[in-house]
């Protein structure tokens, strides 16, 4: 990571250190302590331990920044212009089932005096595969030490699309089926692998041609939005208006596909 700034070095060091005990836990998933936040919404001891580690490391490096984590919620900082946005294990259900498709993801949001905000740095790390995706605003997107770009396909019939699906305790089942029906008739394939953070990263790397999903959270999307835009793609909400950083809905793809897929989803 010769091109990485001091800020990105802080972020990558944090996710790598967090991953070490997580990998040990992953090797003993049958013994994990698991509790429920709600129907179908699990949190493991590994999630909690990972977020605690990230909080400690990131706040030590930048003590004034705010912190928004999936498990901890919002912790206000003295520096109101910067907030870490963190998901300690994106893909907890995969993790619990010994599936090696999950990630630690960290984004940094910068807020301007006028109240507008943007993601200025992001890191997503799949520790099992040792794949570290990282980006800083204006400096491109990388997988380990290799710069990556979105795929260049323009014909939907040739495209592989990623999405997410709601499960027990979640809303939006009917709309998800409508979306799949509308998109599935037009594309080469749809995949649902269970980690929004990695779906974004794989679009940035050209493995997927596009990714869409509804009803996400800020920690699901923060780093990924930056990855796709820095890799030459476009990220918006599915609807005409809205801020994709909220996670209300997401569509990420290359710039040529984007308007066509958006039209399909809006008509679903």
Q: What is the pLDDT of residues 184-219, one digit of tens each?
A: 999 999 999 999 999 999 999 999 999 999 999 999
Q: What is the pTM of this model?
A: 0.94
Q: Report residue 22 as tokens.
A: 């997580």
Does position 26 have pLDDT exceeding 60, yes or no? yes
Question: Could you tell me if 50 and 23 are in contact, meaning their C-beta atoms sit under 8 angstroms apart?
Answer: no
Q: What is the pLDDT of residues 162-189, one digit of tens each?
A: 999 998 888 899 999 999 999 999 999 9
Mean pLDDT across the chain, nearest whole number?
Answer: 93
Same fold, 6-148 and 156-266: no
User: Please, what is the Cα angle at 233 between 217 and 261, to 5 degrees?
Assistant: 75
CATH class of 156-266: alpha beta
> Which architecture, in CATH terms, is 6-148?
2-Layer Sandwich (3.30)
Residue 40 pLDDT class (50, 70, 90 cuts)? very low
Element containing residue 95 per DSSP (H, E): helix 92-96
Residue boundaries of the structural domains of the chain = 6-148, 156-266
């Amino acid at each position: 990571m010769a091109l990485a700034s001091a800020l990105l070095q802080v972020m990558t060091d944090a996710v790598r250190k967090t991953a070490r005990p997580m990998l040990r836990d992953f090797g003993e998933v049958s013994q994990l302590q698991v509790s429920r936040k709600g129907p179908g919404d699990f949190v493991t001891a590994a999630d909690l331990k990972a977020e605690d580690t990230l909080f400690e490391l990131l706040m030590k490096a930048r003590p004034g920044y705010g912190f928004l984590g999936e498990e901890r919620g919002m912790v206000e900082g003295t520096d109101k212009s910067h907030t870490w946005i963190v998901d300690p294990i994106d893909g907890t259900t995969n993790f619990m089932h010994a599936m090696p498709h999950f990630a630690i993801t960290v984004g940094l949001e910068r807020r301007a005096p006028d109240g507008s905000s943007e993601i200025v740095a992001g890191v997503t790390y799949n520790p099992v595969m040792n794949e570290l995706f990282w980006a800083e605003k204006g400096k491109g997107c990388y997988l380990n030490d290799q710069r990556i770009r979105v795929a260049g396909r323009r014909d939907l019939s040739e495209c592989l699309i990623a999405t997410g699906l709601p499960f027990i305790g979640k809303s939006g089942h009917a709309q998800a089926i409508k979306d799949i029906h509308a998109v599935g008739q037009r594309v080469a394939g749809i995949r649902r692998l269970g980690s929004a953070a990695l779906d974004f990263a794989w679009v940035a790397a050209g493995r997927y041609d596009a990714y869409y999903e509804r009803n996400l959270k800020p920690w699901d999307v923060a780093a990924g939005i930056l990855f796709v835009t820095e890799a030459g793609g476009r990220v918006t909400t599915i609807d005409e208006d809205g801020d994709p950083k909220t996670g209300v809905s997401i569509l990420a793809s290359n710039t040529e596909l984007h308007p066509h897929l958006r039209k399909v989803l809006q008509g679903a």
